[in-house]
Structure 1
């Protein structure tokens, strides 16, 4: 068995205690973090290694972005793609040693507030990032798992109100269509919806701007775990650790965990 978790932590240094809580309570074999918001040498490597996660691949950046994959089983870093073509630390790929599996950890750009590349360059950068990611996926020929904050909620049941969010960045038709092209490029299987079929409620993010997140439940499914078909067939369980949104000084995202019989 192998369990893999993904979590946009929104600062690894500020929330190292929450990472430790997750590792102690959920105990995934591998944890992929996004938005670590620190340079690689400032990542809390020793604290996490002391819990048994001695295998680490970190791509950091001062104050923004950054991804890290930590593991208690041997892994080896194999790739760092710059799909935004601007030097931002948004991807790291590792190989799980002794198993035929790549794990791609990605943080897709949020895309700003206006869903129009003519007036909002960040939105165009997001679409272009996904386009480059799609070209990469089209050449991928190994069993793979891609996880992270995709910053897109593709299905109507992935948001609290499809009608009200149709023109809001993360749920616009052009983003959904662009993400679907990426999915089709490698035949990725959406593990979340494999185990929690639509239209069941499934969210992974609630805005800090909404203090009553549980009462109002205005969530979106921005975080994803997708697998090659052969890997997806070996997924035995999937869960959303929604209670993490109520932990002290929480991230606005919650962890996802998938278990595999590999």
Structure 2
């Protein structure tokens, strides 16, 4: 029996369109649990059989037609799924489960927030900030071992973006988003596992725009994808990997998978 638990998170940007690279990743890395964001499909058309063939027979889905959508696929049992409406409009942006070891696993897709960092001119930006405020209120009530993963759509640190100065007014790195995410982290004293294993100011990105002709050469990345652990869960973490090579795979997502391994 394995003495570690490997959990992966990936904004796949359409699971049906990119099922081939998901299968490749599962075969090569074999995580015990995979959390997906932006699946972009209703539950009825989710490619469940493809995951079952690879041993991921436990599946918790929260899908939506053409937009958003989250899923947790697992080789180990999980129970008590829930779907929290932090967007307050019914969008499929969260699914949570409890694993056999008692850990809560919460998978979230935070809204991108549009292009203008002003809630008056751009209601989507206000919705994003309100979403994070609801997460803060939820976080303050937690009392069980919890791992919070997903696409937070915020790169909080200067070393989480290719140019802090040039992105200060760009949604995902604005001061108000960084401040709000900081309050979310403080609300449960979350440990940012990415920066626990890769301390700043070391470069750490998980997303590169499709607009770049050569994403690797320009390297204008941002760290939008995160894994945060309550202190009891963080104490069990033994490694964190950012799979940057996946950005060069056939029909890639603009995000890459991140993986943390925990001692059982």
Aligned pairs, number: 261
Residue 104 of structure 1 corresponds to 106
Residue 72 of structure 2 corresponds to 69
Residue 228 of structure 1 corresponds to 230
Matched, 1:46 2:65: no
CA-atom RMSD in angstroms: 0.5
Which consecutive residues of structure 1, in runs of 5 or more, have no partner in the other structure?
none
Residue 56 of structure 1 corresponds to 59
Matched, 1:80 2:83: yes
Alpha carbons 1:238, 1:257 under 8 Å: kept: yes
Q: What TM-score results when the alignment is normalised by the length of structure 2?
A: 0.98
Secondary structure of the 2:233 match is helix
Alpha carbons 1:191, 1:238 under 8 Å: kept: yes
Distance in structure 2 (CA, Å) of the matches to 1:170 and 1:73: 34
Q: What TM-score results when the alignment is normalised by the length of structure 1?
A: 0.99
Alpha carbons 1:57, 1:77 under 8 Å: kept: no
Which consecutive residues of structure 2, in runs of 5 or more, have no partner in the other structure?
none
Q: Any residues of structure 2 matched to 1:115-194 within 5 Å, and which?
A: 115-194=117-196
Secondary structure of the 2:111 match is coil
Distance in structure 2 (CA, Å) of the matches to 1:68 and 1:170: 23
> 1:219-258 CA deviation, whole Å, 9 max, x = no partner?
0000000000010011000000000000000000000000
Aligned structure 1 segments of 4 or more residues deviating by more than 4 angstroms: none
> 1:130-179 CA deviation, whole Å, 9 max, x = no partner?
00010000001100000000000000000000000000000000000000
Distance in structure 2 (CA, Å) of the matches to 1:217 and 1:77: 40
Which of 196, 199, 223 in structure 2 is aligned with 1:197?
Answer: 199
